[in-house]
């Protein structure tokens, strides 16, 4: 049985009430569309390129998903730089953060 209650709440000046989906869209727009490895390090709060590569980018589970979902461009002969879709990567990290942090490095 669904119960309802009617309340009145004041929203302080300078604040607005926004639907969660709209808020997500606004967050996405605030991100630069493309990140490099430096931006990814900032998001993950990791300072070493090697740590991010071993625990995340070259971890077979994550690597497969990042490529399939079009989130990451791995350096290759045509473009030898890391590039990430910022919106998709930010969401992916938010959804998988605990698993990324706990991941063992490749070959460990």
Q: What is the pLDDT of residue 107?
A: 61
Q: Which residues make Cβ contacts (< 8 Å) with residue 100, sequence separation at least 6?
A: 44, 55, 56, 62, 93
Q: CA 69, CA 72: separation in Å to the nearest integer?
A: 8
User: How much is the pLDDT for 27?
Assistant: 78
Q: Is the Cα dihedral 79, 56, 69, 33 positive or negative?
A: negative
Full pLDDT tens readout for the chain, 108 residues: 889 999 998 999 999 888 998 888 887 777 678 999 999 999 999 989 999 999 999 999 999 999 999 999 999 888 889 999 998 999 999 999 999 999 887 765
pTM attached to this predicted model: 0.69
pLDDT at 55: 92
Which residue reads 């009617």 in tokens? 6
The CB density around residue 55, as the number of other CB atoms within 10 Å, is: 21
């Amino acid at each position: 049985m669904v119960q309802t209650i009617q309340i009145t709440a004041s929203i302080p000046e300078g604040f607005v009430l926004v639907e969660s989906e709209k808020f997500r869209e606004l967050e996405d727009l605030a991100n630069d569309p493309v990140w490099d490895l430096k931006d990814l390090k900032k998001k993950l709060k990791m300072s070493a390129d090697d740590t991010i590569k071993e625990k995340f980018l070259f971890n077979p589970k994550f690597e497969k998903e990042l490529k399939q979902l079009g989130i990451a461009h791995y350096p290759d002969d045509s473009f030898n730089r890391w590039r990430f879709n910022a919106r998709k990567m930010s969401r992916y990290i938010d959804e998988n953060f605990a698993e990324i942090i706990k991941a063992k490095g490749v070959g460990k």
